[in-house]
Structure 1
């Protein structure tokens, strides 16, 4: 069975490919930056370099999708740097081209990664199921993009009713090998990475902060169940328990610094704008307003049982962050352990280092 995976070098993609290549499947991995032949990530996978939002991508995708039993669309630019392809081109135009190419190639099963971020905010402690409205969070580009993705998938389902379409909506996805990536997304070059996991690391929190997370390996298992059994439908994915502000700070190894979210956003905006730190305040809005979800459907329909609870999953990520861990792929490359002087020289102050999340 031929299975094509877009975004195969991302966090979910790496975990799914790691699982899928051990199965009797022909796995084809698509990524903008593919692993080199001398890496372990290359074994057991046919790799194709493709920028999904490029003008010629649809023709290339159609050829790659030929005879595929399933296309698993995981590609998504989450927090690209300024010099990377524009976020919307990769995410929205890229998804359109993937879906159109899959239809033209006659792919019978399409699986797409959405997110709990696609949901319209609900009551803070209310858990929502897959029927909750998909309006996104206005102050988060990531959330709005995932809501627009859902609209594209709705249109695809209406236009191609014979294609079995599945969507996963995971909570925040974590794993050890994403440690270096998360540091690049969140930590100022002025802050020594060695502070992560140490008791004197200040962790920004605010009243009412809560989070659901899920380990990438457990998301990969849900994808395996969907592909192997040709399942259609929508599935929330999250581990238990829900983590509160103090617990998040403790698991991150530091101490909580409780301030209103508006204060943290006011601090984050100018520091992001001038390139001192990479995290746009839109991420704070997402963390504050993302829905909590119930995962009953995944457990009942897929018989999905996450092996990592939320505490273990976050501990795995924190251990990876402390090491700056990664893989041989571009997206999950390990953190470059340069000294403070080199990190400061690499900063381009006066402009953001990463694309806007507004």
Structure 2
């Protein structure tokens, strides 16, 4: 199959390329705003064709020539102070890609959504894919994920033959993306040495926090299964284990201190308004409001069994952030 992957150089995208090219079973076109630097020999031997493009502005039709499937992962978290820029990529870019998929008659579209697309849940009962998707807080990330859910609804309603899959993972981690995620969510103030567990006297944890996570490699296997199998609709992805205060303390190897959620979101808002931190308090609100996910449908219809637990996924981030882990992909540079 000829598979086009947008956002191919990011956290999930890099893992998806590895999975798609394993065994040489697919011809892969990788689309990203910034392509990795490859030597002439590496470029000649690569099993991936890189095409630089911005989904929010460039002509997408030529990228989809001959495509059997599109995996749409392109996304921008930053700059949160200029929401028109993230909206152009995340919302407008998705609409433009859907239009190109329709014009080119691509048979399958697999799109990455998120647990943050779901409406808030104030209980600990895992929800299935029928839970409402109006966004878990007012944060731009949640709003844009919810908007894309409506865009996919409208695309499917035309009923013109493209098989549509939307994957809603819990929080996604891998070691090579740790430095990128540290920069996205912590900015310049949060340095690698701060993740040295020998230097952490105590871990503040917002009261009520319960966290699901999934490793990027496991998400990639689900995405490729969705490309290869005749499935449609939404799939939750979450690794075994729910991390609460005690489990997070064990991961960090430090005692925990429970703090009021309003104090956390207020501190983030202050840092965001003064441009000291890159994320607003609404993202912390989302973290506390997202539902727990039931991933039974993925296990049944995609034959998906995570190879990493939630704790192992978070550990990959923590150890990677402490050691400035990264890769040659431009967004993932250490």
TM-score for both structures, normalised by structure 2: 0.93
Q: CA RMSD in A?
A: 2.0
Q: Secondary structure at the match of 2:188?
A: coil
Aligned length: 330
Structure 2 match to 1:278: 278
Q: Secondary structure at the match of 2:54?
A: coil
Which is helix-richer, 1 or 2? 2
| Bigger mean CA deviation after superposition, 30-39 or 280-289 | 30-39
Pairwise mapping of residues 295-314 of structure 1 onto structure 2 (< 5 A)? Answer: 295-314=295-314
For 1:320 and 1:257, how far apart are their aligned partners in 2? 24
TM-score for both structures, normalised by structure 1: 0.87
Pairwise mapping of residues 201-280 of structure 1 onto structure 2 (< 5 A)? Answer: 201=200, 202-280=202-280
User: Quick check: 1:45 aligned with 2:44?
Assistant: no
User: Quick check: 1:112 aligned with 2:140?
Assistant: no
Deviations 1:212-262 (A, max 9, x none): 000000000001111112321210000011110232243134443321010
Give the conservation status (yes or no) of the 8 Å contact 1:168–1:234.
yes
User: Quick check: 1:169 aligned with 2:168?
Assistant: yes
- Change in Cα spacing, 1:41 to 1:182, as seen in structure 2 (3 Å) is farther
Q: Which runs of 4+ in 1 moved over 4 A?
A: 39-42, 81-85
For 2:271 and 2:260, how far apart are their aligned partners in 1? 17
Give the conservation status (yes or no) of the 8 Å contact 1:197–1:253.
no
Q: Secondary structure at the match of 1:146?
A: helix
Q: Secondary structure at the match of 1:139?
A: coil
- Change in Cα spacing, 1:84 to 1:133, as seen in structure 2 (3 Å) is closer
Give the conservation status (yes or no) of the 8 Å contact 1:177–1:320.
yes
- Change in Cα spacing, 1:41 to 1:83, as seen in structure 2 (3 Å) is farther
Q: Secondary structure at the match of 1:3?
A: strand
For 1:169 and 1:41, how far apart are their aligned partners in 2? 34
For 1:169 and 1:297, how far apart are their aligned partners in 2? 12
Structure 2 match to 1:326: 326
Deviations 1:302-357 (A, max 9, x none): 110000011111111211111111111121111xxxxxxxxxxxxxxxxxxxxxxx
Give the conservation status (yes or no) of the 8 Å contact 1:196–1:253.
no
Give the conservation status (yes or no) of the 8 Å contact 1:66–1:106.
no
For 2:235 and 2:190, how far apart are their aligned partners in 1? 38
For 1:168 and 1:48, how far apart are their aligned partners in 2? 24
Unaligned runs of 5+ in 1: 335-358
For 1:260 and 1:83, how far apart are their aligned partners in 2? 29
For 1:39 and 1:240, how far apart are their aligned partners in 2? 42
Unaligned runs of 5+ in 2: none
Give the C-alpha shift of residue 277 in structure 1. 2.4
Give the C-alpha shift of residue 24 in structure 1. 1.9
